[in-house]
């Protein structure tokens, strides 16, 4: 029996009432320069794993890092039907006074539970922010990422080797023209730490390790665009901290490493409606910002006669690559095909089961029979290689039906 929770009717009722009240206010204030829009889509996916099994909490997204080894998650060939990709949002503009910039706002959620709600169909916040002039505050896409390189896939999670992270931030855009812009932001820190084999060291058998997030992450982005497409360069600088104690009675000691990364993405518009999407990212301690990354921080040591010395933390290096082509066969048919990978330079003290490389490839055929309707099928292949060289791969087939809606006031 499926024990995953459905969204509560109370939560949906609250959203519906709030949207109705805001729409009513927007309608009454049409002559004041305000705008308001309700938008979203209902989407149902049928997912069939052909020769692969993922962590059950991630049945509805194709993440190669979640591939199970040696039957740990059960037999192959599992099926799932999901509405988690469905989305609801409101956005609009409000005046702030004569001679000043308007206030833009956006609130959006989907049903893809993560964290403590992983595997459940629960409301999950995607965007919630306000933007006034050069300043944005709230949660939206990180400045380190390029959302436009995301290809037109059916799979919710998408290619593994791209930067993809929505984060709480305070953003300043001091330079903006019709074709270019530059922005900087401080973003909420979130570190993924791998304790590795540290508990095999004598005296550290009961060690506790936890995140230490003392400073926000610093991100920056420059983007230039034209009729040909766009190019984007993103950067990040962060303090990846940790705290450690050898036993529950001892005091916590702390340490940190510097994380940094550079992301270059581009989209080339070709033919009439086609697009080539490319991205390359490299950095150390940036896994938290990857669509399917590894660990930001891990231990390293010198080995001599089976004894570990000079134990220290290391910001884990990582490389991500994405290459996709979106093609329109006609006004009603399109396809997206491509490949992506994430490669991690593991430390010598990480677990043998820590993932070293993941590959992701997909191709689809999409049909648009009428406005606001889309049906499609997609074939995906993924592979995970671990630190010890062990690997597993497999394929997934996914079908979807998507119905868009939108109302402007």
Bridge partners (DSSP) of residue 81 are 46
Tell me which residue range forms the domain holding 249: 9-408
CA 62 – CA 223 distance, rounded (Å) = 30
**Residue 229 CB neighbour total at 10 angstroms:** 16
Residues facing 407 on adjacent strands:
38
Q: What is the pLDDT of residue 163?
A: 97
Which positions of the chain have pLDDT values less than 50? 1-10, 12-13, 17, 29
**Domain harbouring 391, CATH code:** 2.40.160.10
pLDDT for res 358: 96
- pLDDT tens per residue across span 242-273: 888 877 778 888 888 999 999 999 999 999 89
Decide if 2 is inside a domain: no
Enumerate the β-bridge partners of residue 92. 36, 105
Question: Is 3 part of any domain?
Answer: no
362 — phi, psi (to 5°)?
-155, 155
- Relative to beta strand 355-367, strand 373-386 is antiparallel
- 3 state SS for the chain: CCCCCCCCHHHHHHHHHHHHHHHHHHHHCHHHCCEEEEEEEEEEEEEEECCCCECHHHCCCCCHHHECCCCCCCCCCCEEEECCCCEEEEEEEECCCCCCCCEEEEEEEEEECCHHHCCCEEEEEEEEEEEECCEEEEEEECCCCCHHHCCCCCCCCCCCCCECCEEEEEEEEEEECCCEEEEEEEECCCCCECCCCHHHCCCCCCCEEEEECCCCEEEEEEEEEECCEEEEEEEEEEEEEEEEECCCCCCCEEEEEEEEEEEEEEEEEECCCEEEEEEEEEEECCHHHECCCCCCEEEEEEEECCEEEEEEEEECEEEEEEEEEEEECCCCEEEEEEEEEEEECCCCCCCCCCEEEEEEEEEEEEECCCCCEEEEEEEEEEEEEECCCCEEEEEEEEEEEEEEEEEEC
Distance between the two ends of the chain, CA-based, in angstroms? 43
Please tell me the predicted confidence (pLDDT) of residue 142. Answer: 98
Bridge-based pairing state of the strands 217-226 and 229-245: antiparallel
Query: Could you give the number of structural domains in the chain?
Result: 1
Please state the pTM of the whole predicted model. Answer: 0.89
Q: Would residue 140 count as lying in a domain?
A: yes
Q: Is residue 1 part of a domain?
A: no
> What pLDDT score was predicted for residue 303?
67
100-134 core/surface letters (b: 16 or more CB in 10 A; e: else): eebebbbbbbbbbbeeeeebbbbbbebbbbebeee
pLDDT, position 5: 39
Residue 60, in any domain of the structure = yes
Residue 4 lies in a domain: no
Q: Using alpha carbons, list the distances in angstroms from residue 257 to 166, 194, 296.
A: 23, 14, 10
Residue 255 has a pLDDT of 86
Go through 13-42 and write b for each residue having 16 or more CB atoms within 10 A of its CB, e for each that does not: eebeeebeebbeebeeeeeeebebbbebbe
Estimate to the nearest angstrom the gap between the alpha carbon of 366 and the chain centroid: 23
CA atoms within 13 A on the CB side of 121: 20
Residue 257 lies in a domain: yes
What is the C-alpha separation between 405 and 40, in angstroms, rounded?
6
């Amino acid at each position: 029996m499926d024990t995953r929770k459905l969204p509560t009717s109370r939560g949906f009722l609250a959203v519906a009432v709030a949207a109705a009240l805001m729409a009513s206010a927007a309608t009454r204030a049409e002559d004041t320069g305000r705008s308001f829009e309700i938008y979203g889509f209902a989407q149902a996916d049928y997912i069939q794993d052909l020769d692969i099994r993922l962590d059950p909490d991630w049945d509805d997204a194709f993440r190669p890092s979640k591939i199970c080894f040696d039957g740990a998650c059960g037999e192959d060939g599992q099926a799932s039907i999901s509405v988690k990709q469905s989305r609801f949002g409101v956005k609009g503009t409000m005046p702030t006074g004569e001679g000043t910039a308007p206030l833009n706002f956006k609130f959006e959620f989907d049903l893809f539970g993560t964290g403590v709600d992983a595997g459940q169909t629960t409301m999950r916040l995607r965007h919630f922010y306000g933007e006034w002039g050069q300043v944005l505050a709230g949660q939206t896409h990180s400045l380190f990422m390029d959302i436009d390189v995301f290809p037109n896939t059916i799979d919710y999670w998408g290619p593994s080797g791209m930067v993809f992270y929505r984060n709480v931030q305070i953003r300043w855009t001091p330079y903006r023209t019709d074709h270019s812009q530059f922005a900087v932001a401080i973003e909420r820190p979130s570190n993924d730490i791998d304790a590795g084999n540290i508990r095999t060291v004598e005296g550290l058998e009961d060690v506790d390790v936890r995140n230490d997030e003392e400073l926000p992450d610093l991100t920056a982005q420059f983007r230039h665009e034209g009729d040909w497409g766009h190019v984007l360069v993103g950067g990040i600088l962060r303090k990846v901290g940790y705290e450690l104690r050898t036993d529950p009675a001892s005091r916590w000691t702390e340490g940190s490493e510097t994380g940094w990364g550079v992301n270059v993405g581009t989209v080339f518009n070709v033919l009439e409606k086609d697009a080539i999407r490319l991205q390359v990212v490299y950095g150390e301690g940036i896994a938290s910002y990857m669509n399917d990354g590894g660990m930001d921080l891990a231990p390293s040591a010198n080995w001599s006669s089976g004894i570990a010395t000079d134990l220290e933390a290391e910001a884990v290096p990582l490389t991500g690559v994405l290459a996709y082509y979106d093609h329109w066969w006609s006004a009603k048919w399109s396809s997206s095909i491509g490949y992506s990978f994430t490669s991690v330079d593991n430390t010598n003290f990480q677990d043998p089961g820590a993932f070293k490389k993941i590959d992701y490839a997909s191709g689809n055929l999409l049909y648009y029979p009428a406005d606001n309707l889309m049906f499609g099928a997609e074939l995906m292949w993924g592979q995970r290689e671990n630190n010890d060289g062990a690997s597993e791969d497999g394929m997934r087939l996914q079908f979807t039906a998507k119905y868009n809606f939108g109302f402007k006031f």
